[in-house]
Amino acid sequence: MSDNWQEDLLAFLRQNLPEAWAEAVEEGDQQTVLALRDELDNVDFVRQLGKSGWVAPDWDPAYGGRGLTRDQARQAINTLDEWEVPRTPRGSGLPLAAPTILQWSDEATKRRFLPPLATGEERWCQLFSEPGAGSDLASLATTAVRDGDDWVVNGQKVWTTMGHQAEFAMLLARTDPDQPKHKGITYFGMPMDAPGVEVRPLINMAGQLEFNEIFLTEVRVPDAYRISPVGEGWGATHTTLGAERFALSGTKKKKRRAKDEILGGKTIDQVIALATDLGLNQNPYWRQRLATEWTNQRLLRLTSQRSRANAAMGKTAGPEGSISKIAKASYNQSLQVLAMDLLGASATAWTQDNQAPASFVEEFLRTRANSIEGGTSEIQRNIVGERVLGLPREPDQFRGAPWREVPRS
């Protein structure tokens, strides 16, 4: 690693971006930058960014990073954000799988999975939820049985985001049914092209193909692809879920356009612009509702600062991510409802000449999932109640019983 890492980063950006991009950044011309970004091959750029170690600059070079200190890495990420470049590989590998692999896997597994994850050459999806194990994830029934150097996996997963595009999956499977449900679970990295993996699409109510159900029949997963120690998958799962709540809480500092937003939905600025276009922005009733949502957005941002501060200090994501996730889902859904109310009858039908309402309606429909995905808001409230407020856990008459003895619907 060069001691002049700032110069190395700027040299990379100038070599891999149009000359006009650097000029626009220097002049503070964000509109030009965003226009150039729309023309950029994001996948190829992020691949080059990852190969140069700038996607995760604090990682060891053996894992695909630059070996920078945490403070240096934060400065590098800030520079990338100032240049408005795409820096996140496709799939959920970087935000979800990587923290888990870094914390729980052995050295060989880290070296195998992290470099192609950072470049986006291997996209990851999540095989956690099952038809009978959604909110109660620990009751999962997918099994993995050891057979020499492999594990043989059988079961079914559901609500797998972008599973039809992923090369690898974060897989939870039960490896010891004689243990209580929170034990005897192991965490694997599973190739999605392995024999016995069947991907079936689930179309959401916005007409989008985003989710899938996955059927696993005698799928062989090498033990070398095991991410957690045997039987310690539940602890590793908490690392992933904590990272997911942080990602879904909208805590990232970077400015986002609507199409970059993790949870989907129009932004407050876009909804205000809609009210202005409709001539409703001076109406006292609509102004009050717009002001309420603007205030909610500011409160969410302030609440999210706690998560950002902890992340900056190197702390593992904790229950505060649940607070932000609840607030983000509630705010985002409420904002889209306001957009529908502003549109009125135009939200139910529109003309060929004016397709703008269709975009708002699609975002409204997509965001109905915000309070479900990444752990339902009800489950998040339980986490806050138990881990933040210290309230007693809900009674469970089967707590501590072997998984195979617990009744399942």
For the stretch 256-301, pLDDT in tens is: 443 444 468 999 999 999 999 999 999 999 999 999 999 999 988 8
Please, which pLDDT band fits residue 373 given cuts at 50, 70 and 90? Answer: confident
Q: Which tops the pLDDT comparison, 159 or 324?
A: 159
pLDDT tens digit sequence for 77-109: 999 999 999 999 988 999 999 999 999 999 999
User: No. of H helices and E strands in the chain?
Assistant: 13, 7
The fraction of the chain above a pLDDT of 70, given in percent, is: 91
**Per-residue CA distances from 109 to 11, 103, 234, 281, 389 (Å):** 32, 11, 18, 55, 37
- Radius of gyration of the chain from its Cα atoms, rounded to whole angstroms: 23
* Contact status, residue 102 vs residue 31, Cβ threshold 8 Å: no
pTM exceeding the 0.85 threshold for the entire prediction: no
Longest dimension (CA), the chain: 71
What is the dihedral angle through the alpha carbons of 401, 402, 407, 409, rounded to the nearest 10 degrees?
120
Please, which pLDDT band fits residue 135 given cuts at 50, 70 and 90? Answer: confident
Distance from C-alpha of 158 to C-alpha of 131, rounded to nearest angstrom? 6
Q: What is the residue type of 236?
A: A
The overall average pLDDT reported for the chain is: 90
At CA 204, angle to CA 352 and CA 238, rounded to 5? 140
The fraction of the chain above a pLDDT of 90, given in percent, is: 69
* Average of per-residue pLDDT across 184-203: 97
Residue 375 gets the label, from left (phi > 0), alpha (psi -120 to 50) or beta, of: left
Structural domains in the chain?
Answer: 5-87 (no CATH), 123-231 (2.40.110.10), 249-388 (1.20.140.10)
Half-sphere exposure of 108 (CA within 13 A, CB side): 4
In the chain, the N- to C-terminal Cα span, in Å, equals 55
Distance from C-alpha of 385 to C-alpha of 392, rounded to nearest angstrom? 8
State the angle between helix axes of 320-343 and 233-248 in degrees (0 to 180), rounded to the nearest 10. 40
Catalytic positions, written as ranges = 244
pLDDT at position 387 over 70: yes
